[in-house]
Amino acid sequence: MSARILDYMRRYDYKKVVMCNDSNTGLRAVIAIHSTHLGPATGGLRMWPYATDEEAIFDALRLSRGMTYKYAAAGVNLGGGKAVIIGDPKKDKSEALLRAFARFVDQLSGEYITGEDVGTTLADMETLFTETNHVVTLPTHCGGAGDIAPATALGSVMAMKACAKRVWGTDSLRGRTVALQGLGAVGHNALRMLVEEGATVIVTDIDQQKVDTAIAKHGVTAVAPEDIYGQDVDIFAPYALGAVINDETIPQLKAKVVAGAANNILAEERHGDELERCGIVYAVDYVANSGGTIFDTDRLRKGGFQEERAWANVRKIYERTEEVFQLAERNRIPLYAAADRFAEERINSLKSVRLLEPARLPH
Ligand code: NAI
């Protein structure tokens, strides 16, 4: 098994994996550090009942590499990392277990910075913070950014506006029609912003209560979850699940833009090629949904969390999306590949800068 992991690490240029065990608290965790070229490896802590150790290690590896690209493309000077705790968050989580994990993070002296992810909460981050300073996604009373969903929503709307500019020559969403899938933490914030922008929004969710609230608040129309793809709209906006752009859904789409905040929107890369063939402009997911990350990690910058600076950087997702368009055009490659190239170029151009030693006086 270990040979396979090291081969995988070599193939994708990983830095290190730390295996953590604490028999007293029952902690079994993996910290994967993909890259520290742009800054400390940063990424959330996932708690999940993985069936095997190998599954946990590969999940941490895969997710940490994704973070490297996300930060690089978002213009954030952080590297990619991710941690997983093996266990059921509902049954196995305890203060002692979390604090034991935090001690392992602290031993890395800032090489890895942890945060919230599936199976962990803002309150858990506060618990980790009692043992280590290397935590993001903290409540405001701990000096953090608090709820990041509004920032994720704003960033995705900025990406949507950049797509609109490309397709219709104007980034105004006034009068545009949008099919919005998922009214959760990010989706309901995006809905508010889209309505404020003057867009006409059709919504869906599997949770009828959320649909009813959206109708009552914003007077929007709702459709059944399976009918959202085929709506006669300008923009399809995924805010629920991954893999929603696939063989079944692409033929249904009438929209000219796909832009939202869901992670891993394309079921496979070839679906990105298919969108291009259909003339549909796609806001690459990890660029479009990086607003929360940008907002959240502002606390690691000079002077600590500065809300105004954080919002301004979230708005820059508009320019980032345009840069991806330009890179795709220059290199004649699909948008999803252009986003990867954009991130790689940024890492390569900056990694040598970080290697520069301060000038020394001669002896
Ligand atoms: P959430 O869990 O609060 O909301 C998801 C919503 O989608 C829920 O209301 C759920 O009922 C609905 N849903 C689930 N299956 C559905 C279906 N088949 N059809 C219609 N609706 C369905 O999650 P959150 O935080 O709003 O995240 C949404 C997406 O954005 C996820 O893919 C997440 O990975 C991604 N994301 C979220 C970030 C954040 O700041 N919360 C940051 C970056 C990405």
| pLDDT tens string 198-233 | 999 999 999 999 999 999 999 999 999 999 999 999
R_g over Cα of the chain: 21
pLDDT band at 337 (very low <50, low <70, confident <90, very high): very high
Q: Which residues make Cβ contacts (< 8 Å) with residue 301, sequence separation at least 6?
A: 309
Instruction: Check if 90 is active-site.
Output: no
Ligand 1 atom, smallest distance to 149 CA = 40
Q: According to the model, what pLDDT value does residue 363 have? A: 58
Ligand 1 atom, smallest distance to 238 CA = 29
pLDDT band at 1 (very low <50, low <70, confident <90, very high): low
Q: Is 31 in contact with 2 (CB distance < 8 Å)? A: no
pLDDT in tens, 267-278: 999 999 999 999
Average pLDDT, stretch 296-321? Answer: 93
Q: According to the model, what pLDDT value does residue 353 have? A: 77
CA of 228 to the centre of ligand 1 (A): 15
Q: According to the model, what pLDDT value does residue 267 have? A: 94
Asked if pLDDT for residue 153 goes beyond 60, the answer is: yes
pLDDT band at 2 (very low <50, low <70, confident <90, very high): low
Cα(101)–Cα(83) distance, rounded to whole angstroms?
A: 10
Q: Probe ligand 1: pick from 116, 226, 241, 265, max atoms within 8 Å of CB?
A: 241
The 3-state DSSP class for residue 206 equals coil
pLDDT in tens, 157-200: 999 999 999 999 999 999 999 999 999 999 999 999 999 999 99
Q: How many CB atoms lie within 10 A of CB 248?
A: 11
Asked if pLDDT for residue 304 goes beyond 90, the answer is: no
CA of 318 to the centre of ligand 1 (A): 22
The 3-state DSSP class for residue 326 equals helix
pLDDT band at 302 (very low <50, low <70, confident <90, very high): confident
Asked if pLDDT for residue 55 goes beyond 80, the answer is: yes
CA of 354 to the centre of ligand 1 (A): 36
pLDDT in tens, 63-122: 999 999 999 998 899 999 999 999 999 999 999 999 999 999 999 999 999 999 889 999
Q: Which residues make Cβ contacts (< 8 Å) with residue 58, sequence separation at least 6?
A: 5, 8
Q: Which residues make Cβ contacts (< 8 Å) with residue 100, sequence separation at least 6?
A: 22, 24, 25, 27
Cα(12)–Cα(64) distance, rounded to whole angstroms?
A: 11
Asked if pLDDT for residue 334 goes beyond 70, the answer is: yes
Give, using CA atoms, the residue closest to atom 4 of ligand 1. 184
Average pLDDT, the chain: 94
Ligand 1 atom, smallest distance to 187 CA = 26
Residue 221, beta-bridge partner list: 202
Q: Write the DSSP assignment of 268-299 as a string of letters.
A: SHHHHHHHHHTT-EE--HHHHT-HHHHHHGGG
Q: Probe ligand 1: pick from 67, 245, 263, max atoms within 8 Å of CB?
A: 263
| pTM, full prediction | 0.90
Pocket lining for ligand 1, CB < 6 angstroms: 148-149, 152, 181-187, 204-207, 210, 225, 239-242, 261-263, 289, 292
CA of 154 to the centre of ligand 1 (A): 15
Q: According to the model, what pLDDT value does residue 357 have? A: 63
Q: Is 221 in contact with 202 (CB distance < 8 Å)? A: yes
Output 322 or 117, whichever has higher pLDDT: 322
pLDDT in tens, 121-130: 999 999 999 9
Q: According to the model, what pLDDT value does residue 360 have? A: 65
What sections of 86-207 are H helices per DSSP? Answer: 95-107, 122-129, 149-168, 185-196
pLDDT in tens, 349-360: 988 776 666 666
Q: Which of 82, 93, 161, 256 is catalytic?
A: 82
Give, using CA atoms, the residue closest to atom 32 of ligand 1. 262
Cα(363)–Cα(361) distance, rounded to whole angstroms?
A: 6
Q: According to the model, what pLDDT value does residue 359 have? A: 66
Contacts 24+ apart (CB under 8 A), 207-212: 207/183, 210/183, 210/184, 211/183
Q: According to the model, what pLDDT value does residue 118 have? A: 87
CA of 20 to the centre of ligand 1 (A): 30
Q: Which residues make Cβ contacts (< 8 Å) with residue 349, sequence separation at least 6?
A: none
Q: According to the model, what pLDDT value does residue 103 have? A: 98
Output 3 or 41, whichever has higher pLDDT: 41
Q: According to the model, what pLDDT value does residue 74 have? A: 87
